[in-house]
Structure 1
Amino acid sequence: MPDTTTDAFGNTVNCGNGGGADTFFGLRIASVFIIMATSMFGALFPVLARRSGLRHVIPHNVFEFAKYFGSGVIIATAFIHLLDPATDELGSPCLGGAWQVYPWALALAMFAIFCIFFLELFAFRWGSAKLAKLGMTYDAHGLGGAEHSHQHGEVAEQRPDDDSDLEKKLGPGGMTTIEPSSVLDDSALAQITGIFILEFGILLHSVLIGMTLAVDPNFKVLFVVIIFHQMFEGLGLGSRLAFLKLPPGYNYVAVVGALLYGITTPVGIAAGLGIRTTYNPDSTKASIVSGVMDALSAGILIYTGLVELLAHEFLFNKEMNNASNKKLAYACITMLWGAGIMALLGRWA
């Protein structure tokens, strides 16, 4: 491969190593801590607020706004901030041969979608089989959570809005359940699996944009945009983490997920600063690595956003099915607002 080439617009592209900008070095170092603070705030605030005394101070509508807004942010991230850059990276003029004759970014995103689908399908069937042995059933669409069979045919239901439901016995007639603190049931496992998949896609993306920020010559503009980008994306992830219904012994999962998100972009920035003299985001190797990772992350977030968030929140959610038209319109508009703002940020990053 040549060290330099030209793109479709006649601009010279450096395909070799090096090329990382070294201007505003002090501010680039400060960006590690600034972006860590904004990322942590976006991801941790919904989690801590919902699990502390602030839950009784902050109106419930605020949490719902964050949840629906965050769904839109995640979907826009998948298409605008991941799939489009992956298409550019894997279509880079620095890449030749087979890279130029096939839409690899779209194929990899599709591959990730099917992988996540089969993973969830296997996990659901395995979990359902285990619960069946315990005389329990699980509603995959989230209409009723984990249900326990009663000897008279009555079924008990977990209410999604009751934060204390996991600490109570379910059902009439003195029916008892397995203590949630000792058993992680299929409902909790399904939620953790879904959040893990969502976070995995976001974390890959966060590391890459951190490395890019560390060496990008247009640092000032990109820095400002990434501050808002990470805060909104953190809000999207944090709102999902905040609404996890977990047994008391597993509440730390949400906090750990938020902390992981908060440190990934700063880690990427630090790594980029450490290799700034040799790391060129336009190089052949960097284009392949970042393009493949962005494409796979896009597939993960597309599946999660459309299936886990849109379908489960709007189509298969009993509360939303019974909600008024006003509430449904509010949720849809809030989601579109989140997607719109995140899509707008794609103009610069």
Structure 2
Amino acid sequence: MVAPKILDDDVLNCGSGGGAHTYTGLRIASVFIIWAGSSFGALFPVLARRSSLVNVPHSVFDFAKYFGSGVIIATAFIHLLDPAIDELSSPCLGAAWQEYPYALALALFSIFAIFIIELLAFRIGTAKLKKLGITHDAHGHGVGSVSAHGPEGASDAIREVGKTVDASDVENEEVDESAAAAQVIGVAILEFGVVLHSVLVGLTLAVDPGFKVLFVVIVFHQLFEGLGIGSRLAYLRMPARYNWVPIAAALFYGLTTPIGIAVGLGVRTTYNPGSARASAVSGILDALSAGILIYTGLVELLAHEFLFSRDMREASNGKLAYALGCMCTGCGLMALLGKWA
């Protein structure tokens, strides 16, 4: 009979002691460094698309959009779901946690919860548009229809409404706001999943003993993730009085990881990322965030950018190959970062 393996206290750390106290100055500096990198990644696509002073080729925006889609999908599987499985199967947790794949169940719950929320939102929006005599097409295929999925469909719909619907200016404004609201809901769901993950990343960075390697990886991680968020925000078509929404969302994303680092620095004398409570909390949040990003990445981004996009259906083979290449590059690089963080 093989004797059970005895885990060293350094490996199985279930106590309530604090995290690492090394590199204090660099950890404090990381708050501002990561804030700058995250904010740049999220803000650059938004500001560059709006600015007439910066002449950024359209192909650059296409790269950021498709690259960002790949980043988000890889984040869901490699940086959220896998850690959630490890955290919720930690030996620090009770035996009941080992009897069921809770991480996968929570991710599944999150996927269906987001689907049901969007389904209800679309039904309410469709009923509202029907009163204006406008048909609703979830994929944005029909002429004169309003698409509820993604910036690409909604922006087409806004342009089509002005051409095909005989309505008053007030009605057209209401239609524009309905299409804009659909886009905001989609991006808000995406950002919500990323924000939870970013706060946990910052909290871990503040107390983790392997700070140097993790710090470098997270700088790139947040930059790439910021490009993914920013590229979606840049393509939002908002009524004029809501033009501040994409900028505010980008700024908010830039603050999330620094907030996590600051909180971690404040509680590092008592917070232990290896404790049972920390494993349970971070595992649950990671699993829920993974479900959000899996649904958003595969349905809202992948399917609607390629399968249901009018532009992509009519695109040349070269453009399609370029878009797929950008997406696979983003996914591959983000997945590779999972080797270190």
TM-score normalized by the length of structure 1: 0.89
Please tell me whether the aligned partners of residues 43 and 262 of structure 1 are also in contact (alpha carbons under 8 angstroms): yes
Distance 2:126 2:165 in 1: 25
Q: What does residue 80 of structure 1 align with?
A: 78
1:283 counterpart = 2:255: no
In structure 2, do the counterparts of structure 1 residues 90 and 245 end up closer, same or farther at CA, with 3 Å as the change threshold? Answer: same
Q: What does residue 239 of structure 1 align with?
A: 231
Distance 1:341 1:252 in 2: 31
In structure 2, do the counterparts of structure 1 residues 165 and 76 end up closer, same or farther at CA, with 3 Å as the change threshold? Answer: closer
1:265 counterpart = 2:263: no
Please tell me whether the aligned partners of residues 145 and 157 of structure 2 are also in contact (alpha carbons under 8 angstroms): no
Between stretches 97-106 and 262-271, larger displacement belongs to 97-106
Runs of 5+ consecutive residues of structure 2 not aligned to the other structure: none
Please tell me whether the aligned partners of residues 170 and 176 of structure 1 are also in contact (alpha carbons under 8 angstroms): no
Q: What does residue 34 of structure 1 align with?
A: 33
Q: What does residue 90 of structure 2 align with?
A: 92
Please tell me whether the aligned partners of residues 143 and 160 of structure 2 are also in contact (alpha carbons under 8 angstroms): no
Alpha-carbon distance, 1:167 to partner: 8.5
Q: What does residue 188 of structure 2 align with?
A: 196
Q: How is 1:169-208 mapped onto 2 (pairs within 5 angstroms)?
A: 170-171=162-163, 176-178=168-170, 185-208=177-200
Distance 1:284 1:271 in 2: 19
Q: What does residue 13 of structure 2 align with?
A: 14
Alpha-carbon distance, 1:135 to partner: 1.1
Q: How many residues align?
A: 333
Q: What does residue 155 of structure 1 align with?
A: none
Q: What does residue 124 of structure 2 align with?
A: 126
In structure 2, do the counterparts of structure 1 residues 164 and 340 end up closer, same or farther at CA, with 3 Å as the change threshold? Answer: closer
Distance 1:60 1:145 in 2: 26
Please tell me whether the aligned partners of residues 21 and 215 of structure 1 are also in contact (alpha carbons under 8 angstroms): yes
Alpha-carbon distance, 1:187 to partner: 1.8
Q: What does residue 139 of structure 2 align with?
A: 141
Q: What does residue 308 of structure 2 align with?
A: 316
Q: What does residue 256 of structure 1 align with?
A: 248
Distance 1:198 1:328 in 2: 24
Larger relative helix fraction: 2
Distance 2:267 2:31 in 1: 15
In structure 2, do the counterparts of structure 1 residues 145 and 174 end up closer, same or farther at CA, with 3 Å as the change threshold? Answer: closer
Percent identity between matched residues is 65
Question: 1:28 corresponds to which letter in structure 2?
Answer: R
In structure 2, do the counterparts of structure 1 residues 145 and 77 end up closer, same or farther at CA, with 3 Å as the change threshold? Answer: farther
Question: 1:348 corresponds to which letter in structure 2?
Answer: W
Distance 1:70 1:145 in 2: 29
- 2:333 pairs, out of 326, 341, 347, with 341
Moved over 4 A (4+): 159-169, 172-177, 179-184
What's the C-alpha RMSD, in Å, of the aligned pairs?
2.5
Alpha-carbon distance, 1:51 to partner: 1.4
Between stretches 204-213 and 93-102, larger displacement belongs to 93-102
Q: What does residue 297 of structure 2 align with?
A: 305
Distance 2:339 2:77 in 1: 13
Please tell me whether the aligned partners of residues 146 and 187 of structure 1 are also in contact (alpha carbons under 8 angstroms): no
Distance 2:137 2:53 in 1: 31
Runs of 5+ consecutive residues of structure 1 not aligned to the other structure: 149-158
Distance 1:189 1:119 in 2: 14
Q: What does residue 51 of structure 1 align with?
A: 50
In structure 2, do the counterparts of structure 1 residues 173 and 81 end up closer, same or farther at CA, with 3 Å as the change threshold? Answer: closer
Per-residue Cα deviation, 1:22-42 (whole angstroms, up to 9, x for no partner):
100000000000000000000
Q: Secondary structure at the match of 1:217?
A: coil
In structure 2, do the counterparts of structure 1 residues 91 and 165 end up closer, same or farther at CA, with 3 Å as the change threshold? Answer: closer
In structure 2, do the counterparts of structure 1 residues 205 and 161 end up closer, same or farther at CA, with 3 Å as the change threshold? Answer: closer
